Chains A and B, each alone.
Chain A
Amino acid sequence: MGLKASEINEHIAWQDLTTGCEIYEPGTSRLTRTGEWRSRTPEWIKEKCKQCLLCAPFCPDASIPVTDGKRDEFDYDHCKGCGICIKACPFQAIRWKEEN
């Protein structure tokens, strides 16, 4: 079956690669922390949020988790800080974080 994606890294030998560089698991990209790319950070102002969820489908990085019909805090491990959600929100419940 070959290695799990989490065991494949830039130090393993050629014998340990999966045949044909196949992957046999779902969604292994989650292991990549694209949040590190972020230069600006969106901030969720919970009190202003009406849970309309209009932000959620527009996140290219699926970083607005929704459970039981309600959004939760940003997945900052993966949010790249594009800001689409800020403009998607009709209630100004997302803004750029003031950063030092």
Chain B
Amino acid sequence: MSIRERLSGNEAIATAMRQINPDVFAMFPITPSTEIPQYFAQYVADGKVDTEFICVESEHSSLSACMGAEAAGCRAVTATSSAGLAFMNEVLYVAASSRLPIVLAVSCRALTGPININHDYSDSMAERDSGFIQLYGENNQEVYDNYLMAHRIAEHPDVRLPLMVCEDGFITSHAIENIELEEDEAVKKFVGEYHPENYLLKEENPLAVGPYGISAYYMEARVAQAHAMMNAKKVILDVAADFEKTFGRKYGFFEEYKMEDAELAMVIMGSSAGTAKAAVDELRKNGIKAGLIKVRVFRPFPGEELAKALENCKAVAVMDKSEGFSACGGPLYAETAGACFNMKNRPLMVDIVFGLGGRDFTVESAKSVYKRLAEIAETGETGDIYTHMGQRER
């Protein structure tokens, strides 16, 4: 039986962690993810978990400690945001190439500068090539559910990759919403125990991790890692199917909202999708064929499936909540446009960078995007492909 509760995204993640009872949690504080280890510290203090909780001296060290613990045979977790994730950057790549299935909760927050504590995806998008699987949630429920699925995906023998569970800083991390929690025992049963085949503390044979790889092996090692990420697609869907069977909530690579006959579509991520759905509902009442795709899985990127979902659209706006400074569009646009390139009848597509550093995205903002898409569909002209929205301008 599910339990109705009211929790913030951070507390939902901390609750999932408590239910899973990981072996090691290495923490370092940063806004807005700090609450996760704070809640967890209380669970430790109250004997609700028997996790080894270590307060290290930096995010670089928190992920490094997770690597040591995970390689030693443990389920290791941590949480961070923004500059903390950027500081982890080097270790993210090492953890992924060492194929250590660490689970990292990210309360996504703008990168400096100027320094800003509010939400956008500049932190997690900057790590899109790190080799971590990335799952994004729209609200506390999705973030909680993603966390329950995370270890099983990451630890699957065909995958063995670390994973980020991403929530929107403050918007999701701190806002208290209704949530359906699952019972502790049901969660434990669903997630299962972690039994790696080889680990540093294994009695029978030693394990050596992290070699120097000369050119004769590096390419092969990277190809193997690339295939692990490809394998993750099937595993993500399999775990989601079991999750639906167990808990009743359905997940895929992305959510299609009123896409059956949509001509004008938005590709968007996280909490902004909730706002945009309200706009879609309003427009639908006026007979406008608007739809929306909310990307849940950004790594591995479900390019083929996304292209298929967009094939009948006339105009698509990709909504990037991070600025990649490529001078030709953000990361979500680059991926989506790339995925659609080989389609026979691809829709016209523009990129809109919005919401940076907590800049508001309202139903009206979303409606203005659909208005622009309607013009594009009508004229067949995209205008500027790469634009920003919500900034003051002369």
Judged by CB atoms under 8 Å, the answer to whether A and B touch is yes
Contact in complex: B198, A21 (CB < 8 Å): no
Say whether A31 faces chain B, with CB atoms less than 8 Å apart.
no
With a cutoff of 8 Å between Cβ atoms, the chain A residues found around residue B198 in the complex are 1, 22, 24
Docked complex: A22-37 residues within 8 A CB-CB of B: 22-26
CB contacts (< 8 Å) of B210 on chain A: these are: 21
**Which residue of chain A has the shortest Cβ distance to B219 in the bound complex?**
A14
User: Is A100 among interface residues, defined by CB-CB distance under 8 A?
Assistant: no
Contact partner of B206 (CB less than 8 A), chosen from A10, A14, A24, is A24
Kindly state whether residue B160 has any CB partner on chain A within 8 Å.
Answer: yes
Residues of A within 8 A of B216 (CB): 10
Chain B: interface size category? 20 to 34
Which among B217, B219, B223, B224 is the interface contact of A19 at CB below 8 angstroms?
B224
Chain B 192-228 near chain A by CB (<8 Å), digits 1 or 0: 0000011000000111111101001101110110010
Question: Which residues from A are CB-within-8-Å of B98?
Answer: 20
B97 within 8 A of A: yes
Q: How far is the CA of A20 from the CA of B206 in the complex (A)?
A: 15
**Chain B residue at smallest Cβ distance from A28:** B208
Instruction: Please give, as numbers and ranges, the residues of chain B lying within 8 Å of A19 by CB-CB distance.
Output: 99, 160, 224
Contact yes or no, A20 B99, CB < 8 A: yes
- Check: B66 CB closer than 8 A to any chain A CB: no
A67: interface (CB < 8 Å): no
Complex contacts, A21 vs chain B, CB 8 Å: 210-211, 213, 217, 221
CB B68 to nearest CB in A, in angstroms, measures 14
B223 touches A14 (CB 8 A): yes
Q: What separation, in Å, do the CA atoms of A26 and B197 have in the docked complex?
A: 17
Chain A CB within 10 A, most for which of B160, B211, B227:
B211
A15 at the interface (CB under 8 A from B): yes
- A1-57 interface (Cβ within 8 A of B): 1, 10, 12-15, 17, 19-26
Least CB separation from B95: chain A residue: A20
Question: A23 vs B211: C-alpha distance in the bound complex, in angstroms?
Answer: 9
Our pick among A13, A22, A24, A26 for the contact of B220 (Cβ within 8 Å) is A13
Interface size class, chain A: 10 to 19
B376 at the interface (CB under 8 A from A): no
Cα distance, A15 to B213, chains bound together (Å): 16
Main secondary structure of the interface of A (DSSP, over half): loop
Question: In angstroms, how far is the closest chain A Cβ from the Cβ of B227?
Answer: 8
Once the chains bind, are A17 and B207 in contact (CB under 8 Å)? no
The chain B residue sitting closest to A27, CB to CB, is: B206
Given A20-B97, A20-B160, A23-B211, answer yes or no on A14-B205 (Cβ-Cβ < 8 Å): no
CB distance from B226 to the nearest CB of A (A): 9
B211 with A1: CB separation less than 8 A: no
A82 to chain B, nearest CB (A): 22
**Which of A10, A13, A17, A25 makes the CB contact (< 8 A) with B205?**
A25
Verify if B280 is at the interface (C-beta below 8 Å from A): no
Q: Does B374 contact A (CB under 8 A)?
A: no
Residues in B whose Cβ lies below 8 Å from that of A23: 207-208, 211
Q: Which residue of B lies closest to A9 (CB)?
A: B216
- Shortest Cβ gap from B201 to chain A (Å): 14
Given contact pairs A1-B197, A25-B206, A26-B206, A14 touches B220 in the complex (Cβ within 8 A)? yes
Residues of A close to B209: CB separation below 8 A = 20, 22
Tell me the bound Cα distance from A10 to B219 in angstroms. 11
B224 CB contacts on chain A under 8 angstroms: 14-15, 17, 19
A20 x B100 contact (CB < 8 A): yes
Whether B217 and A17, one on each chain, are in contact in the complex, defined by CB atoms closer than 8 angstroms, is yes
Residue on A nearest B160 in the bound complex, by CB: A19
Measured between C-beta atoms, what is the minimum distance from A51 to chain B in Å? 32
What 1/0 flags go to B304-325 for Cβ under 8 Å of A? 0000000000000000000000
Residues of B within 8 A of A20 (CB): 97-100, 160, 209, 221
User: Which residues on B sit within 8 Å (CB–CB) of A10?
Assistant: 216-217
10 A–B contacts from the bound complex (CB under 8 Å): A10-B216, A14-B224, A14-B227, A19-B99, A20-B209, A21-B217, A22-B198, A22-B208, A24-B205, A25-B206
* A contact residues vs B (CB 8 Å cutoff): 1, 10, 12-15, 17, 19-26
Top-3 shortest CB links A-B:
A20-B99, A14-B220, A10-B216
Given A15-B224, A20-B98, 20 more A-B residue pairs with CB atoms under 8 Å apart are: A1-B197, A14-B220, A14-B221, A14-B224, A17-B224, A19-B99, A19-B160, A19-B224, A20-B100, A20-B160, A20-B221, A21-B213, A21-B217, A21-B221, A22-B208, A23-B211, A24-B205, A24-B208, A26-B205, A26-B206
Q: Which residues of B contact A (CB under 8 A)?
A: 97-100, 160, 197-198, 205-211, 213, 216-217, 219-221, 223-224, 227
